[in-house]
Each structure stands twice: as structure tokens, then as C-alpha cells.
Amino acid sequence: MTDAIYLRPAGFVDAPFGHDGKVARLAGGLAWFSAVEIVTDTGAELVQVEGIEARLDERVRLVWANLVAPRPPLMLGERVIRFDQPQVVGIVNVTPDSFSGDGSAADLEAAITSGHAMASAGAAIVDVGGESTRPGAKAVWDGDEIARIEPVVRQLAAGGTAVSIDTRKATVMEAALGAGARLINDVSALTWDPNAAGVVAAAGCPIVLMHHKGAPETMQDDPHYDRPVLLEVYDWLSKRIDAAVAAGIDRSRIIVDPGFGFGKTVRHNLQLMNGLAMLHGLGCPLMLGASRKRTIGAISNEAPVDQRLAGSLTFALKAAEQGAQMLRVHDVAETVQALRVWRGLRDAALTPEPSRP
């Protein structure tokens, strides 16, 4: 038990017009909310946004400030990724054992072509990984991982694509950064390799810190949490942010990911999705990776991986509605189209009808 207090945005509205002082904008994005759920370990209270700051003590006021503060753009070399709307991150798995079945370790050219196609389809970033971290996956030797990812990263970056590297290993991070990657996506949140934080700090590059519980080999054996999963994930990420800052990483370069499917049951994953907006209280951009995950199959008559597009889009839009800034997906073109329709709805709501004489 803790005495921590959390704020979960609620009462979302389409637009702020006519609601002056009664709604707040979530993290500078395209979502407005009219209420917050003040959550503790012992219960929750729903309060209206209007006049809320006067009712919060100094400690909780900081969380409120994090909820409503715009997130600064992500600087990836010469590329600028803005967070005033959701951005798509395309997944290129250069592995023979990816859970999604799209690994292409035997054909680097196919991986490069796939990455270019994702960028052309609207992915702001292409995330390249050379080690599967699916449930039950075994660790890969650093040299093998570098051999898989380095030529792909180099070719994509040379073609103007913004590239991130999905790895837990300091040596792989260094190789990928040298090849042109500009963002590190670490599923261990800098806990797996003691040298990783130093590499990120020295490079001055952005870092994604992802929540996980247990190693990939065993994380899905029997995941359980002593407190509500959303609160445990929040606190864990908060500590990892503090650790990264202490290691010399600028807080403005930290992105958080709740780790959908990493040491979590179906119920845990759904609870995280429903409460995702609370994580904006950490003050960092939020990335969500639910594409093709096992939870979709579990609630869809065991749909196989290649038949989980509709569920993946549902999760992507649910995340967008709660202000998630980055959506990590396999199906880029389809997700971009879904977000464009969603953005069209937002734009229509934000363009009030002109008054008639």
C-alpha cells in the first residue's frame, strides 16, 4: 500500500467550444476531458475539471500539470516528430522467430523494402529489432543481433527514414546509433544491460522505457500484481524515469510504454487500455504497442496472428482517444488510414459551424 494519488482523465468531449474553464486538453493533443478520477489504493473519486487546481495539494498539482502540458517534439537528427496528434511507428522484425510471423532474418532486402514501404505509407518512425522478446523467447548473442539489424538500419536511415532500434543491449545500441538510428526502444527499460543507460546518456538520444514483469522466457507463466495493474505500472515507470534521469538522460527525451502483453494477463491488458490516459501524469510521451498481440486472439475465438488486424486497429484508436502519442504497429497503411478518419472526425468537431445571420 502507498499514499500515492493518481489522476485519470475522464469525461472526454469532442471539442472545447462552449466549455470554457470546464474542460482541459490532454497533453497538448487532440483529446479534451471534463473530469478526472482521483485514484488512491483505497478508492476513487470523480471530480469535475472546473476549478480543480484549487482543490489539489501541491504534490497532486504537479501530476495535473503533467496531464495538461504539451509534449515537446521528438528530435531525431534532422527529423522533427510532433506530438500534437498520434504518430505511427512501424515494426520491422529482423528475426526468424517473431511472434507476428513477419520476421525476415533470412532476407535483409525484404526487411529494408518493408521499412521503406512503411515510411511511404505514413509511419513517422520505423522500429527495427533483431531479437524476439515474445513470451518464451531466448536471448540472442550480441554479434548475431548486430549482424541482423545493422544493414537494415543503415539502409533505411540513408534513405531518409527515421529509425529506432528495439534492443536491450548496449553494444547493439551503439552499433545501431552508428548506422543511423536516432531512438532507442528498450523493452527492459534499461534494466537488462548495466551499460545501456550510459550509452543512451552519451548519445543524447531519446529512449523508450517499457514496463515488463519478468524475463521473456517466463513472463507469461503466471503474471500477477499485488495492486491494480495500472497503479503498479505507473509507479514502476515513474521509478525507471527517475533512474534514467539520474544516469544523465534528459527527461524531455524519455518516452514510456506500459508494456502491453509483457508479464500481463488478458485482463491486465484490458485494464491498462481502459486506464491508459492516467499514464500521462508521468509527464512523458506515451507509446502503445498492442498490434497483433495475444489478447486480441484470446477475445476473438483464438484468431491467429494474421487475422488480428481489426482488433489491432481497435486498440490503436482506443489509445489515440486517450492521447497516446505513438502507436507501434505492424500494419502501417491500415493504421494510418484509421487515424486519418479519426483525425477527420476530430477536425470536424474542432471546426464549429459558422453562425448564420
pLDDT tens digits in sequence order for the chain, 357 residues long: 457 899 999 999 999 998 999 999 999 999 999 999 999 988 999 999 999 988 888 889 999 999 999 999 999 998 999 999 999 999 999 987 554 455 444 488 999 999 999 999 999 999 999 998 776 667 889 999 999 999 999 999 999 999 999 999 999 999 999 999 999 999 999 999 999 999 999 999 999 999 998 666 665 666 889 999 999 999 999 999 999 999 999 999 999 999 999 999 999 999 999 999 999 999 999 999 999 999 999 999 999 999 999 999 999 999 999 999 999 999 999 999 999 999 999 999 988 766 665
Strand ranges, E, within 114-253: 125-129, 163-166, 183-186, 207-210
What's the half-sphere exposure (Cβ side, CA atoms, 13 Å) at 86? 33
Structural domain total, the chain: 2
My answer on whether 187 and 59 are in the same domain is no
My answer on whether 79 and 49 are in the same domain is no
1, part of any domain = no
151, part of any domain = yes
Sign, Cα dihedral of 25, 27, 33, 39: negative
My answer on whether 79 and 226 are in the same domain is yes
Positions annotated as catalytic residues are 293, 328
Domain carrying residue 217: 74-345
For 189, the grid coordinates are 527499460
357, part of any domain = no
Is 89 within 8 Å of 31 (Cβ atoms)? Answer: no
Among 26, 44, 25, 47, which residue's Cα sits nearest to residue 36? 47
My answer on whether 136 and 228 are in the same domain is yes
Strand ranges, E, within 77-120: 79-81, 87-93
My answer on whether 59 and 178 are in the same domain is no
Residue whose grid cell is 534528459: 250
pTM as predicted:
0.93
Give the integer Cα–Cα distance in Å for 281 and 6.
8
Q: Which CATH number do you get for residue 341?
A: 3.20.20.20
